[in-house]
Structure 1
Amino acid sequence: MTNCSADRSETSFSTANKLEFFEALFSSADVGICVTNENHRFVMCNPSYCRAYGYSADELIGQSFTKMLPPNMRKRAGELHDAFLAGGSESPGEWEVIDKTGQTKQVMVTADRVVLADGRRYKVTTVSDTTETHRVQLEAHKLNMAIQQSQSCIVITDRDGNIEFVNDACVNNSGYTREELLGANPSIFQSGSTDKAVYMDLWATISAGKHWQGRLVNQRKDGSEYVEWVFINPVVDENNEIICFLSVKEDITEREQLTRQLRSLERFDALTGLANRFAFFEALEERLRHLKPQDTRQSLALINIDRFAGFNARHGHESGDRLLQHMAQSLVISAPKDALIARLGPDEFAVLPALEDRSASYQESRWLGGIQRELRKGWVIDGGVREVDASIGMAFFDQHCQSDGGPCRPGDVMRMADAALHSAKANGGGQIVFFDADVSIKEQETLQLQKDLSGAIERGEMYLALQAQVHRGVTLAGAEALLRWRHSTLGEISPGRFIPLAEDSGEIVQIGHWVLKQALAALASLQACDPSLTISVNVSAIQVQRTVFVDEVERLLKETRVIPSGLILEITESVFLDDPVFARERLEALRALGVGISIDDFGTGYSSLTYLKHLPVTELKIDQSFVNGLPDDEADAALVTIILSAAHHLHLRTVAEGVETPEQAEYFDSFPDTVLQGYLYDRPSDVKHWMEKWVKPRQAHNQRSL
């Protein structure tokens, strides 16, 4: 009996032991446990419960449990609590609660009822924080909804390529039902129009665990073909083993159709409806490729509207466009039948007669005169009849047109026609010039210059000259950097002659970089004297269009350590004509470096004050052709006044170039902020002599002031 009593005492708890055990269990439980009475008050809260809500037990005991709930839920929660204690049932459920910091959480709640011998009732509630689980489930739901509602087709396959998942876009685009696709192989989409080598590359790539993307021509259930751009990614587990493949496919059928249409449109000039420069050179290259020794001599005519820049400036952009359209119509009327007629530039056109045409001779090219007669009939603008004149250069060529008997190339034909056209312009315009021996001599000289351009910098023939820009005729504002070429045998070559050659040959890239580097070195010396001084540098459209140009400017700015705002890059309006969006992006990138942007020769081309609102321009440079007429020419004076007024309201700096007389300078007295440049103040000179003339006296004055 004694042993039995001892065994019983070791296997049972005394009341004290039971209380200790209960308290230990209550305190160590991982889930939150609270006990509330019939008055909704907390009686007991274990540590897990307190941690979940951020309160201490002392802060909760005696408080209503509804304080843990959003205000709009408290009344209902109290009613459910009362009903449960009265004998009702309560299923486990998810509740939204608020912790001490005011943060909302999601919890799973279960409840038990305890009734003591004296009839008092208590509710024992266990609480598990499901906030993270709820967030993960919500994100998974969002992800699933996003995939299902994505406009891109999404397909998941197993390692063997069997389809395990497709979204709604894939079902709708392919025409198959989801049931038909699940378990099928992606070959169900194949049309047979995609090369087998593409699929071999696809599987070799993704099987190696690499990403693949490419173009696939697929087929819908109804047999119609569509084009998709497909991205396929292998999905790997924690052991880097491939478990499935994720494909995201975009239907690019309409995009490809639009691209083909745009390519077709790219071959025509939008204003005149004629072939554009691209289509013309393609046709000329094709013609030369198929020329045979027995073929008759071929011809090419280049036609340029005389004084178009002045017409466009005086009558406006819209009238200039109508003139170009009139020119195009005149060419269509007068040119030989089946000739290719193209617009090559702002005011330049080309006529390439058909291969079988026999007009390639001086006598049989009378149609050229027909073009001029058609233009001189005039056309009505602003209530008056305006005559139009044009210069025409005609070149004849055959299979071998080079001086050494080499095969004729597009550039050779264009140089001959250009030489004839330039001769017609130089003789006063309104003329027809054929490429002949006299023109050929100039052409040979031009070819020699083009050849000598390469290496001119290394030979020390190129040098930088500066011309002062002044405020009110007395205060130095800065200078324009001007490139000069002192040829070893021909002497000084005009920039108007060698710059176009440099652009045609591509040498302008190297030359432009050298000029910019020299100009920045000069700017560093200027800013050492006065940080507000600037140097303007002409930049070719070819330079601006290069993807590395912005990086080159940034690198040179850092190397020379100049204040970026002192560098003004002068560009012509032709930069905006080919691709305005690209040009704006490139100029914005340059402005982000801190440099200024100036439009050179403003008013001579397709000038439009409206585009100034959309471009990051800081300066307008008024062309000297307008300044020459001041102050007597009313049209020039009116145009200059309009430009200066617009620049003032757009907060743009203005520079007037070509100021040569006191009368011209006096005209700008009414516009004191305008910077003036011209022979009246300074003639261009090399950097060394210019610095001695303008900077050294200024430095000496500064030192005396100190």
Structure 2
Amino acid sequence: MGCIGDAVLITSESRETLYYNEKLYRIWGVDEKVISEYTSGHKEIGCKYADKYLKHPDEFVEIVHRVQGTLQETNDTIEFIDGRIFKRRGVGIKDEVHGICRIWFFTDVTEKKYINTDSLTKCLNRAAWDEFTQNQPSHEKAIGGYAVAVIDVNNFKLINDEFGHEAGDKVLRRVGSTLLSVARDQDLVFRIGGDEFCLVVPTRQDINQLIEQRIAHCLISSGINASVGIAMASEHGQILEAFRKADVNMLRYKKDGKIKAQSLPVHHVLPQARITRTDEELELLSELNVALEKREIYQLYQPIVDVNGCISSVEVLMRWNKNGVSVPPSTFIPLAEESGCIHAIWNASLLESVTQLAAWKKKNMVLPALRLNFSGAQVEYAKNSGHSYAKQISSICELNGIPPSLIRIELTETVLLQDLAKAKEIFEELAAIGVHLSIDDYGTGFSSLSVIKMLPVTSIKIDGSFVHGLPDSAPDCSIVSTLISLARAMDIIAVVECVESSDQYDYIKSLSESCSGSGMSCETLFQGYLFSKPVHAEALEQMLPIID
């Protein structure tokens, strides 16, 4: 056997060394005595040297003990502490004198290992996958079977198209590192191609559900939005057949997920994204998809009160707590609009808001109207897809026994600039079921009276930038007075934002009383820290009166 290119070791059934070639002790860096001792049947000596030279000595010794005296064929990989990697193959043969002997072949695959590694994700690459599936039957006989999981990143093409390959590569690196962290030493993680990965788990049991749950949990925890399919390759099965079944299961899961999310619009046409992005934005983009599932994005409620301090309505405000750090809405909402995640946020917020109203209704509380913010991306989506927000709101309200008239939609003037005709169509449909429309940040956009005339507007919100200087700033006083007078003339409600001091409140209240004295309808509402900061539902509940 001296001509064989591999290192070779032959042992008897009692683990007595029968043969080894020079390459064996050369690759191990030990002398002939050590090799003899290692396979002499003294477990403690074998473990001692395995501990000294190998990264995973226990696994090395366990396989030796398990297959010694059997005809079972094995294939595994051993890693030396110095970084060298060897493929170990073991076969059993019968011998009349020495019983069932064991022949071990050790092949240096260090260079090949790097060739078979995907440079971006550090997972095994397609070439490694092809080689593995071709050699799979011998593995299968040794292990007993495999669980094969196929992982595919959701909306990956959208990420690449809209945010560039840098963002896409960042997502792929995160998927790779996450799957590698999930995998045990005996498991294999492949990047099959593009955004598709495969995790192969040697197992004698059908533990599909357990593996799928672990993968899904780790992906979600890492901020990855992906679909997972899994199938078993039995002892007599084939890896490729199991892979195809897992791939079908993954596609079915992806399709079912879209069906379940029909109430959540899928964003087919996005606003034009900015080309240049900061590292922080790329990081947020890669995590935004699953922040809702992780419950990192949540909602708070800020009361809006009348002149008597009674709660009239409540604005629903979204917040993102990312690993204990607050991400400003001014940062993540624009990213959500551009990535399409705004639809998931809208859907979750609408459902939670109506469900919360139903819970308060059961407690006989006076129900406030809830104000939900509406995005320009949603107007564009409705235009391109035909999605009906009126039907969506009506369906959820009916399911929870809540009248749609308790829903207020807030949108900024800049949203209307994108497509006023489509916005008019959407909000007339909403008004028909009782939903109210409010123009947010009024006075900061183009402030056209034609907007109020064209749309079924029931209130305007006066931007806080005009309130901060009250009552000392003459320009601010003039602007706020004019806007309240405008609301009076149009017979709509004026909501004044960012009221933080008693002086501001008293001044605005005097304007409202002046309107009342004129005999014209002029309801003015107040929102700001003077009355309450945004709070959780439990805290708001303490502020709501009970119906007598």
TM-score by length of 2: 0.46
Larger radius of gyration: 1
TM-score by length of 1: 0.36
Q: Which has the higher contact order (CA 8 A, sep 6+)?
A: 2
